[in-house]
Structure 1
């Protein structure tokens, strides 16, 4: 199937995704397509809603932490615990091309429970920047964009960016 990345202010990006009941061939094909789209667009993470699929599926690439490219697919991911805050940092998004804004409410350490591609429950701890990427992608499943998390000054900068890039 031919998917395209939805971009702000597409209202579909604000919708909450539904859980995946079964990991079948169509889900595996979707995840494969997501990986190709993410890599083609130089992304380090992608959520199914970003391509118009309202399913709780995310992928992240370990390139985010300087490792070799290794895509991790998570079905129905949820954060089950977290600790401490990550330092304020610039975040960007394939659905908000060209804009980077400061986010300061991401957690440094998270434990995520999800189904792997064999429908096995995994519970994995992530830290630092990979933790941030996963939180960003899980936000997409809940209709939240990183620009919803930026402070007032950054929101003014974002409005200016939108005006200049119409």
Structure 2
């Protein structure tokens, strides 16, 4: 199936996703399609709700760490713990193309539990920029966009951006 990335202000992006009950060929194919679409669009992360699939699936590209491209699929990811705030930085999103805004409430270190493609439970410690990417993608599963997390001044900039791009 051919998927496309939903863009703001599509209301589907604000819906909460349901847990994946069974890892089958359909889920594997969705993740494969998500990976292809993310790479085609030069993304470093993508969540299933961004392609109108209300399942708790995310993918992240370890290229975010400056290394080679390696896709990590996380099924039903949960942040178990977190530490220290990350410095404020510009964040962007394939669902909000062309806009970058300062987000200041991301955590530097997180511990994440998820299922891998084989259905095995994984727990990993993630830090720095990859931590930000994972938090951003998990937000999508909960109907939260990064523009919901920007401060007042950035929201004014975003409104101006939207007006100029119409």
Q: Shared topology, TM-score over 0.5?
A: yes
Q: What's 1:144 paired with?
A: 144
Q: Secondary structure at the match of 1:31?
A: helix
Q: What's 1:91 paired with?
A: 91
Which ranges of structure 2 fall in alignment gaps of 5 or more residues?
none
State the shift of 1:24 in Å.
0.1
User: Any residues of structure 2 matched to 1:87-166 within 5 Å, and which?
Assistant: 87-166=87-166
Q: When the two structures are superposed, what TM-score results if normalisation uses the length of structure 1?
A: 1.00
Q: When the two structures are superposed, what TM-score results if normalisation uses the length of structure 2?
A: 1.00
Tell me which stretches of 4 or more aligned residues in structure 1 moved more than 2 Å. Answer: none
1-structure distance, mates of 2:139, 2:113: 15
Deviations 1:50-81 (A, max 9, x none): 00000000000000010100000000000000
Deviations 1:98-157 (A, max 9, x none): 000000000000000000000000000000000000000000000000000000000000
Which ranges of structure 1 fall in alignment gaps of 5 or more residues?
none
Q: What's 2:67 paired with?
A: 67
Q: Secondary structure at the match of 1:60?
A: strand
User: Any residues of structure 2 matched to 1:70-81 within 5 Å, and which?
Assistant: 70-81=70-81
Q: Secondary structure at the match of 1:96?
A: coil
2-structure distance, mates of 1:141, 1:52: 11
How many residues end up aligned between the 2 structures? 166
Q: Secondary structure at the match of 2:153?
A: helix
2:64 maps to 1:30: no
Higher strand share: 1
Q: What's 2:16 paired with?
A: 16
Q: Secondary structure at the match of 2:46?
A: strand
1-structure distance, mates of 2:67, 2:75: 22
Q: What's 1:4 paired with?
A: 4
